Amino acid sequence: MIQFRFASLLSRYHNSYYLIGPGTGKYNEVGVWVPAKQERTLYRGHIQPVSASMQQKEGGRYTEEDRTLYTTSKHRAGDLIEYQGKQYTVHVPEERDYSDVNKYMLKKVVARGTV
């Protein structure tokens, strides 16, 4: 199978984003449980808005606040990503055996309060 190599192009136009992990809690020196803080791991990739045609083709599954991520890193569905102060969850990853760059759809996390 032909392998397309886009990683060098991606490295020229990359953005920084964070993968937010749950972290681990621990007991302090007096035996009191200290809750976990979220772990933030820096990654690089190219993040761009979802096109209008993609929004229409998917029947409203994606909105203009959602993003597309191109990266050489691997992510799983449900991973939490922070980019420019906004949080997104990784939607079902697209299998791309023919390229050295992975494509992920990011859904914006919306905090809903009580009315």
Residue 2 lies in a domain: no
Alpha-carbon gap, residue 80 to 22, rounded angstroms: 10
Supply the CATH number for residue 44's domain: 2.40.10.270
Q: Which residue has the higher pLDDT, 97 or 28?
A: 28
Residue 102 lies in a domain: yes
Residues ≥6 apart with Cβ < 8 Å to 12: none
Q: Binning pLDDT at 50, 70 and 90, where does residue 49 land?
A: confident
Q: Binning pLDDT at 50, 70 and 90, where does residue 110 land?
A: confident
The one-character DSSP state at 99 is: B
Return the residue matching tokens 């449900």: 78
Query: 71 near 99, Cβ under 8 Å?
Result: no
Note the pLDDT of residue 21: 87
Residue 40: which H helix or E strand, with range?
strand 39-49
Residue 70 lies in a domain: yes
- Domain span including residue 44: 7-22+32-108
Residue 18 lies in a domain: yes
Q: Please say if the pLDDT value at position 10 is more than 80.
A: no
Residue 81 lies in a domain: yes
Q: Please say if the pLDDT value at position 60 is more than 80.
A: no
Q: Binning pLDDT at 50, 70 and 90, where does residue 86 land?
A: very high
Q: What is the pLDDT of residues 16-34, one digit of tens each?
A: 999 998 877 888 888 888 8
Residue 114 lies in a domain: no
Note the pLDDT of residue 17: 94
Residue 115 lies in a domain: no
Alpha-carbon gap, residue 88 to 110, rounded angstroms: 9
Per the structure, the count of domains in the chain is: 1
